[in-house]
Structure 1
Amino acid sequence: MEIKTAFKSGYSEVNGLNMYYEIYGQGDPIVLIHGGGSTIQTSFEKVIPLFAKNRKVIAVELQAHGRTNDRNQDSSFEQDADDVFALLRDLNIHKADFFGFSNGGTTVLQITIRHPEIVRKIVLGSALAKRNGVPDWFWDFMEQAKLENMPEQLKTAYKQVAPNPEALQTMHDRDAKRMVHFKDIPDENIRSVKAPTLIIIGDKDIILPEHALEMHRQIANSELAIIPGGHGEYIGEITTLDSNFRESTLVVPLIEKFLDKKQD
């Protein structure tokens, strides 16, 4: 029988949003930021209990995702970064580690660029910083994005938790539009990242190995890990799960070793 990890949840009024969060465990804080089209659970359900054994885990849902409402304006990674920063201030968190997956990784990068004072260490899971970081077909796919092509697991998960399940279309459209108009993060911004950084991708990821390597070279205090598997398989993201799933394949020990390592 699966044992559920106890948590507390709440909402915070942040920049015109009623932003949802969950807090698990005790200890040094780590903030988890989900991928596009996702909820806290679809990205992180498998890893939260592991992180929560030793840390305070703060997981959030961004604009139009899951239980957080839409503010009736386009989504941006910069705005998401500012929203997370404001939420943490509301929760009296002044310094934290951050782990973002996929779009959440791009948001973590923006938090580190825009609000470095709140960042201790960051983990970028399958994060995109440049348009050439994914194959050309990705942009064609986004141009043609339709709700019916969204993974069923993500649609079901949204409907299970959203106050208004009909707003699924809004979430989809916000995410698709943001990616269609995605602009490269300038090199000087990436190089400005001083926080110790762990970059993770799968060897069959949407993110190209060359892109992860370029980020690793641009972020002076960074490490790079390429893990066997697809996009999010290394954290048990919901669309990657099958009967062969084993907790032992998750990268939590790798991340914890990085976070616990003393800096020179």
Structure 2
Amino acid sequence: MTTTDLRVDEGYAPGTGGVQVYWRSLGEGGTPLVVVHGGFGVVEAFGDVLDRLATGRRVVAVELQGHGRTADVDRLFSWDVLADDVAALVRSLDLGAADLMGHSLGDGVCLRAAIRHPEVVRRLVVVSAPCRRDGWFPEVLAGMGQVGSAGFEMMRQTPMYAAYAAVAPDPDGFPVLMDKTGALLRTPYDWTEEVRGITAPVLLAYGDADSVPPAHAAEFYALLGGGLRDAGWDGSGRSASRLAVLPGRTHYDVFSSPELAGVVDGFLG
């Protein structure tokens, strides 16, 4: 099935604090899957991943505050505020208990949404992110420390900025977004105890050459009740959550990998 065969809808949904969140959906039926991009992303950055996932369900891709078609507003730019926006969108579109899937920065948003608004989340897919800030490799944290408008001239030459400028209501707002994103990425967090309390089944997916070491992925999985004992010959001791480590994949290509779509499909059912 191709995009031309799928139903396509788009619009804006009210978030919190006056933001109007842009969304685009593909497909129909099944339990809706809400997909949240990484830092500086737009809907188009998902490539054909949305098509693959939408063959048997409705997939709703969103653009967070200040990203793409979603205009920036003068309010706090935090994990919890962005998570509240996603929960508000689920309610506004009357999606019921939806599945959530994020990548990188979008993972933090989806994870916080599952913690703060469990009633709107049936299943959660976390692709390539830790549950505490020091779960990133040190060199990744060092790079996050440099994110800000001082690097705008370099970013101006990238496809990421070109995709933003093509659709943003204020194409000159990218340096502000860089500063807000940099401040968010430098904010300490440790959601370990809250992760233990998540009741929705969770799929953790990483590349084997990711920005998060496999040791942290295993630790994260254990917080969800996974990998703590042998499942038994009949699998009865298996956790409701899952861990996938995709060979040959990195933080920068795992989200668009064809094998990820298959793993996600199998988990969401």
Q: What is the TM-score of this pair, normalised by structure 1?
A: 0.88
Q: Is the 8 A contact 2:101 2:125 kept in 1?
A: yes
User: Helix, strand or coil: the match of 1:60?
Assistant: strand
Q: Is the 8 A contact 1:22 1:58 kept in 2?
A: yes
For residue 167 of structure 1, the aligned residue among 146, 164, 173 is 173
Task: Give the whole-Å Cα distance in 2 for the aligned partners of 1:115 and 1:18.
Answer: 19
* CA-CA distance at 1:168 after TM superposition: 1.1
For 1:34-63, what per-residue CA distance to the aligned partner results, in whole angstroms no more than 9, with x for missing partners?
Answer: 111111221x22211111111011111111
Q: Which residue identity lines up with residue 169 of structure 1 in the other structure? A: P
Q: Is the 8 A contact 2:3 2:51 kept in 1?
A: no
Q: Is the 8 A contact 1:74 1:174 kept in 2?
A: no
* The structure with more radius of gyration: 2
Q: Is the 8 A contact 1:102 1:125 kept in 2?
A: yes
Alignment-derived partner of residue 239 in structure 1: none
| 4+ aligned runs moved over 3 Å, structure 1 | 2-6, 148-151
User: Helix, strand or coil: the match of 2:254?
Assistant: helix
User: Helix, strand or coil: the match of 1:23?
Assistant: strand
Distance 1:168 1:195, change over 3 A: same
* CA-CA distance at 1:140 after TM superposition: 2.3
Please say if 1:259 is aligned against 2:268.
Answer: yes
* CA-CA distance at 1:74 after TM superposition: 3.6
Task: Give the whole-Å Cα distance in 1 for the aligned partners of 2:260 and 2:55.
Answer: 15
Please say if 1:208 is aligned against 2:217.
Answer: no
Task: State the number of aligned residues.
Answer: 246
Alignment-derived partner of residue 224 in structure 1: 243
Q: Is the 8 A contact 1:81 1:107 kept in 2?
A: yes
Please say if 1:100 is aligned against 2:105.
Answer: no
* CA-CA distance at 1:136 after TM superposition: 1.6
Q: Is the 8 A contact 1:202 1:232 kept in 2?
A: no
Q: Is the 8 A contact 1:46 1:235 kept in 2?
A: no
Q: Is the 8 A contact 1:103 1:128 kept in 2?
A: no
Name the % identity: 34
Q: Tell me, which stretches of 5 or more residues in structure 2 are unaligned?
A: 226-239
Alignment-derived partner of residue 196 in structure 2: 191
Q: What is the TM-score of this pair, normalised by structure 2?
A: 0.86
User: Helix, strand or coil: the match of 2:142?
Assistant: helix
RMSD: 1.7
Task: Give the whole-Å Cα distance in 1 for the aligned partners of 2:114 and 2:49.
Answer: 23
